[in-house]
Amino acid sequence: MKRIARVILQPAILAITLSVVLSAATLDEKADHALKFAAAQLKISVSQIADPEQLARTTKPDGSWKTVKADDWTSGFFPGLLWYASEFTGDQEFRKWAESRTASLEGQKNNANDHDIGFRIFCSYGNGYRITGDTVYKSVILTAAKTLASRYNPAVGCIRSWNHGSWMFPVIIDNMMNLELLFWASKNGGDPSLYDIAVKHALTTMQNHVRPDGGSFHVVDYDKSTGAVLKRQTHQGFKDDSTWARGQAWGIYGFTMVYRETGERSFLHTARKMADYFIGHLPEDHVPYWDFSAASMPNEPRDSSAAAIASSGLLELSTLVPDEASKQKYRKAALALLESLCSPAYLSEGTRMRSILQHATGHKPGNSEIDVGIIYGDYYFVEALLRYKDPNRIPKPTPRAAA
């Protein structure tokens, strides 16, 4: 019985020891530890997902990855993580793995079925081109940008997000993230009109998705002929007039990026409004519940992926605001998010989960991906850690006039 007791107690003792060690460490040390753990997790994941056409999405109850094919909206994040790991480890194996997983997505450059081509291609091929300079990668990115632009409706002033559902012309806040593909392409050999499409989409979203208090609607449905707003609602949030945490994080990151690309002050103002709302509604440990208005807090699931996305966006926002007090405010908020995510409460170290982070929520109203590890949470967590470790990784403002 004593031997059995020792075996049972060992994981608990390990978790307590890890918690004590990390709580005493500086954020630099915690970030280094988290990146080392991330590399180890990715190596295990690659060994367990040998087929390069199978891509990690979310953890199953046994902790292993549920995988998806290239046409899933999340398919670009696993290759993107492998590209990041090739940089921060210097291990050429990661680059080889990133190349093979990225190659499996090439056909998606022509996938005009939704707006997620930006996530699929820019996280995979975008990082690949940034690191390697391979012109084949550049060609894929430029084709993908043209494909995304084909979903733009000038009467609405937006790129259509989804083809499914009963909506006439649905646009979701997540779509702000995919505009980076258009901005990049417009400055790297693509049609200059891609810039104008991205700007118009951002302006329309700013007007119709963001509330005066800085909260946001998840979905806005438009009349495709007139551009009139038919309905403002949610799909993955708690209710139509609540603020879905990950949607708010997409908005912070997205409007910050659009300001970086345009220099238009209204986008900076919107990014700050959304950031202030996010920061002002966080619980004590800084990791949001899945929706800021969820009914049963504190007994609602958290969303570590929203925290990861927001931390990366806030780090960039802190470099773009004009005054020192605001710079410190947004940087402090980003670091508080990272502190929690690096802690044993959210890092999946010591568990059977193959993800880097635990306690993410994908689609609670759909009873899908609740309290799991999710690949995009891992992607933006690693991105935020790398931005923290090296501020030069944060993209510099490049308005078209200066290009």
Specify the residue for token string 């290009």: 403
What residues contact residue 134 under an 8 Å CB cut-off, 6+ apart?
128
* Residues 84-130 pLDDT 10s: 999 999 999 999 999 999 999 999 999 999 999 999 999 999 999 99
Domain presence at residue 87: yes
> Does the reported pTM lie above 0.85?
yes
Domain presence at residue 391: no
Domain presence at residue 105: yes
Q: Where residue 23 falls among pLDDT bands split at 50, 70, 90?
A: low
Question: How many whole angstroms separate alpha carbon 34 and alpha carbon 43?
Answer: 14
Q: What pLDDT does residue 1 have?
A: 42
Q: What pLDDT does residue 400 have?
A: 76
CB-based contact 134:98 (threshold 8 Å)? no
Question: How many whole angstroms separate alpha carbon 257 and alpha carbon 252?
Answer: 9
Task: Report residue 20 CA to chain centroid gap.
Answer: 30
Q: Where residue 398 falls among pLDDT bands split at 50, 70, 90?
A: confident
Domain presence at residue 130: yes
pLDDT higher at 89 or 1:
89
What residues contact residue 299 under an 8 Å CB cut-off, 6+ apart?
none
Catalytic residue among 28, 32, 62, 174: 174
Q: What pLDDT does residue 11 have?
A: 41
* Residues 65-83 pLDDT 10s: 999 999 999 999 999 999 9
Q: What pLDDT does residue 369 have?
A: 98
Question: How many whole angstroms separate alpha carbon 370 and alpha carbon 377?
Answer: 13
Q: What are phi and psi of 153, to 5 degrees?
A: -120, 110
Write out the DSSP string of 87-116: HHH--HHHHHHHHHHHHTTGGGGG--SSTT
Domain presence at residue 101: yes
Q: What pLDDT does residue 399 have?
A: 81
Closest CA to 42 of 120, 105, 95: 95
What residues contact residue 26 under an 8 Å CB cut-off, 6+ apart?
none
CB-based contact 365:237 (threshold 8 Å)? yes
* Residues 304-361 pLDDT 10s: 999 999 999 999 999 999 999 999 999 999 999 999 999 999 999 999 999 999 999 9
What are the structure tokens assigned to 76, written together? Answer: 């670009």
Q: Which helix (H) or strand (E) holds 219?
A: strand 219-222
Buried b (16+ CB within 10 A) or exposed e, 374-400: bbbbbbbbbbbbbbbeeeeebeeeeee
Catalytic residue among 114, 116, 221, 378: 116
pLDDT above 90 covers a percentage of the chain that reads 92
Q: How many CB atoms lie within 10 A of CB 207?
A: 13
Domain presence at residue 96: yes
The parent domain of residue 138 ranges over 43-150
* Residues 179-190 pLDDT 10s: 999 999 999 999
State the DSSP code for 233.
E
What are the structure tokens assigned to 349, written together? Answer: 């170290």
CB-based contact 259:267 (threshold 8 Å)? yes
Q: Where residue 292 falls among pLDDT bands split at 50, 70, 90?
A: very high
Beta bridge mates, 374: 58
Question: How distant, in Å, are the alpha carbons of 19, 63, 124, 356, 387 from that of 373?
Answer: 20, 8, 20, 7, 22
Domain presence at residue 21: no
* Residues 34-53 pLDDT 10s: 999 999 999 999 999 999 99
Q: What pLDDT does residue 123 have?
A: 98
Q: Where residue 375 falls among pLDDT bands split at 50, 70, 90?
A: very high
Active site (annotated) includes residue 223: no
Amino acid at 127: N
Domain presence at residue 359: no
What average pLDDT score do residues 133-140 get? 98
Query: How many domains does the chain divide into?
Result: 1
Average per-residue pLDDT for the chain: 94
Q: Where residue 403 falls among pLDDT bands split at 50, 70, 90?
A: very low
Question: How many whole angstroms separate alpha carbon 153 and alpha carbon 156?
Answer: 5
Q: How many CB atoms lie within 10 A of CB 343?
A: 17
Q: What pLDDT does residue 116 have?
A: 97
What average pLDDT score do residues 215-224 get? 98
Active site (annotated) includes residue 390: no
Residue 27 has pLDDT above 80, yes or no: yes
